[in-house]
A and B are shown apart, each in its own frame.
Chain A
Amino acid sequence: MFSFLRHLGADLRHSPLYAGLLGLGLAAFLVLGMGGTRLLGDDKETADNERGGPPRTGGHGGYVNGFNHK
């Protein structure tokens, strides 16, 4: 264990840029988690202060008479 920590200390001194990037990644994960933010795949279509009114569009899902037109 002591040997591993000694190696780790040397690694930190040898690769300070990578160590910094790793720290940044950890901090980003924490901030995203605290804010409930997903990096990819947020499905909301509006980010403005839109009022919760009726939808602006309707649709039929791409299917007409059972045939997929998408």
Chain B
Amino acid sequence: MSSVSIAPPPARVTCPKCATQVPCYEPARSQYFGCPQCRTLFEAAPAAPTGKARIIKGFRKALQMGHSLPLGITGVLGSYYCRITGYQVRTEQSDRTAEWREYQLRPAEPMVGGDPADAPLQLAEYQGHWLLIRRALRHPTVVGPQSIQDNKWTDSKTGNSYRMWHRYQPVIRDVQGEFDWNILEDERLKVQELVCPPHLLTGEKSPDRQPTWYQAEYLEPSQVAAAFGVDVNTLPSRQGTGAAQPNPHNLAPALRLFGVAALLLSLLAGWLAITRPSTTTTETFTIPAAPAAASSLPAAADTLGRPAGAAAVPAATTPAPAGTGYSQMLVSKTIVLTHSSAVDITFTALDLTNHWVEITANLVNEQTGRGYEVTRSLEYYEGVEDGESWSEGNRSANVVISGLPPGRYHLNIYPSPEAGTSDTMLLVLLEQHSDFFSNFLIILVLMSAVPLWHWMRHSAFESGRWENSDFAPTSS
């Protein structure tokens, strides 16, 4: 910053307290001055140097941090060539721990026809976050002393939607440089700020006037440094989230990509359901009652595990071999899988009450002999206790065998009923299908991980923005 050259001022005024020569770049306009040496605010008339200066106030509180842009420095902001002519530190009446700095901007070269409406007026800096402030061309209508309907306002021209961010009354903590108004009068202002990143609307209401509105735009520190030709490291480092700081975690790209992918996924699921429709087969078997000591009738079985003659006579029942623990082997009809798919099997013991039956089933590929074994227990109990009926267990159980290659299959069922019970009707429902809602959901959840991550970071950033506001969306 020491390398930045600052043009000498055309005039100077003498501080009435310490006699320091305070620079004055606009002698025809400026009337109020802050002495950088003794920190006294005084009134003077640079155009009439013989006039006596008048002390207005002296600032005594020790400053935590001085200004990071020197008075008199020039730069290009929003296509305007500007000079910093004044500097002030402000805080709030209700919270004097938060201090921010405001740099007064004036045209560095004469402008024909006066100041344009969009000329920059101030730079404000709080915790390393910079705002460039201009007059607001459009602003909300204030109803009553300070209220804006629903604390929201939408700019009808740009569509920007502003939310109430903060209300406060300022306190001036320090002044240096030159001003064309008595800035201490600003302590009577009631200020309200509405935010729509990267913009911030500020309404300043004095007791006897309509509010004056200003629009601020967030500037990156690098933009400020480039505008004034200073090293960005000489500017205060950013802390926290600025009120008008744009959220860098943009959700829209990830959401758009996810939306398109979810649509394609749905189309694929529909295509699979249409081209590979489900087929269902239902069969009913009788599980004979198991005596206390199971009978041991021998049974012949072929190499596929099917009892002799079962292929020719589907839905057959065969007594179980000795010592196997099950009462009888049941064989289903042959089903044909025309393409790779899954088989969803539902076992339902229709008249199962207060006992159990264990079902072991083996789905056998008749061409290759490969078997796929599953086991399910069906148990259902009910009764009345203290006048209240109760039940537990389930008469049905479901299994899925997936990734089956095409071919002819049958199901060998080995039921093991509880000893001493009567015959049980077993309904077996086999459904062949290729589309799985669970696959759809799992892939959808995996695909949503990236937008979810973006959303979490976006939300965390917004939480940081609103944590210093009394008008946070969650508390409104």
> Taking the nearest CB of chain A, how far is it from the CB of B316, in angstroms?
14
- Given the contacts A22-B258, A33-B268, A61 and B253 also touching, CB distance less than 8 Å: no
- A40-70 contacts to B, CB under 8 A, are 40-47, 49-55, 57-63, 66, 68
Pick the contact of A33 from B269, B369, B373, B375 — CB < 8 Å?
A: B269
Q: How many residues of A contact B (CB 8 A)?
A: 49
User: Which residue on chain B has the smallest CB distance to residue A18?
Assistant: B450
Give A12-35 as 1s and 0s: 1 = Cβ < 8 Å from B's Cβ atoms: 101100110110011011101111
Residues of A within 8 A of B272 (CB): 30, 33-34
* Chain A residues closer than 8 Å to B438, beta-carbon distance: 38-41
Tell whether A51 pairs with B371 under 8 Å between CB atoms, given A33-B439, A38-B342, A66-B354: yes
Stretch of B5-13, B122-130, B358-366 contacting A (4+ beta carbons < 8 Å) = B358-366
Question: B246 contacts the other chain (Cβ, under 8 Å)?
Answer: no
Chain B min CB distance to A15 (Å): 6
**In chain A, what residue has the closest Cβ to B402?**
A38
The yes or no answer to B21 lying at the interface (CB within 8 A) is no
CB pair B435 A33 closer than 8 Å: yes
Beta-carbon contacts of B376-392 to A below 8 Å, as 1s and 0s?
01110100000000001
DSSP majority for the A interface? Answer: loop
Q: State the Cβ distance, B326 to closest chain A Cβ, in Å.
A: 6
Which residues of B have CB within 8 Å of A21?
447, 450
Whether A53 contacts B305 in the complex (CB less than 8 A), given A11-B253, A44-B372, A45-B375, comes out as yes
The answer to whether B257 touches A50, judged by C-beta atoms less than 8 angstroms apart, is no
Total contacts A to B, CB within 8 angstroms? 188
Q: Is the CB of B369 within 8 A of A51?
A: yes
The answer to whether B261 and A36 touch across the interface, beta carbons within 8 angstroms, is no
**Pairwise interchain contact A39-B439, C-beta atoms closer than 8 A:** yes
Q: Which residues of A contact B450 (CB under 8 A)?
A: 15, 18, 21
Q: Within 8 Å CB of B439, what residues of A?
A: 29, 32-33, 37-39
In angstroms, Cα B138 to Cα A69, docked, is 76
Contact A19 B257 (CB under 8 A): yes
- Please state if B326 and A52 are interface contacts (CB–CB under 8 Å): no
**A42: nearest chain-B partner, CB-CB:** B402
Contacts of A54 in B (CB 8 A): 301, 305, 320-321, 324, 326, 329, 414
Given contacts A8-B257, A15-B254, A58-B358, contact A36 B374 (CB under 8 A): no
Also in contact, A51 and B304, with CB within 8 A (given A11-B253, A59-B416): yes
CB-contact partner of B257 in A12, A43, A61, under 8 A: A12
Q: How far is the CA of A22 from the CA of B340 in the complex (A)?
A: 25
Residue of chain A at shortest CB distance from B337: A36
Which chain A residues border B363 with CB–CB below 8 Å?
A: 44, 52
Determine the distance from Cα of A8 to Cα of B257 in the docked complex, in whole angstroms.
7
What sequence of 0s and 1s flags, for each residue 393-407 of chain B, a beta carbon within 8 Å of any chain A beta carbon? 000000111111000
1/0 per residue B326-362: CB within 8 Å of A?
Answer: 1001000000000111100000000000101110101
Q: Which residue of A lies closest to B364 (CB)?
A: A52
* B375 with A52: CB separation less than 8 A: no
Picked from A36, A58, A63, A68, the residue with its CB within 8 Å of the CB of B402 is: A36
Q: Is B260 an interface residue (CB 8 A)?
A: yes
Decide: A43 and B261 in contact? CB cutoff 8 A. Answer: no
- Counting chain A CB atoms within 10 Å of each CB, the highest count among B399, B404, B439 belongs to B439
Checking A30, A46, A53 against B301 with a beta-carbon cut-off of 8 angstroms, the contacting residue is: A53
Please name 8 pairs of A and B residues whose Cβ atoms are closer than 8 Å in the assembled complex, sorted by A.
A25-B261, A28-B443, A29-B269, A34-B339, A36-B402, A49-B368, A55-B325, A60-B416
Query: Which residues of B pack against A, CB within 8 Å?
Result: 252-254, 256-258, 260-261, 264-265, 268-269, 272, 276, 301, 303-306, 320-321, 324-326, 329, 339-342, 354, 356-358, 360, 362-364, 368-375, 377-379, 381, 392, 399-404, 412, 414, 416, 418, 433-436, 438-440, 442-443, 446-447, 450
State the 8 A-B residue pairs at the shortest beta-carbon distance, nearest first.
A52-B305, A58-B325, A36-B341, A52-B364, A61-B377, A55-B360, A52-B371, A61-B356
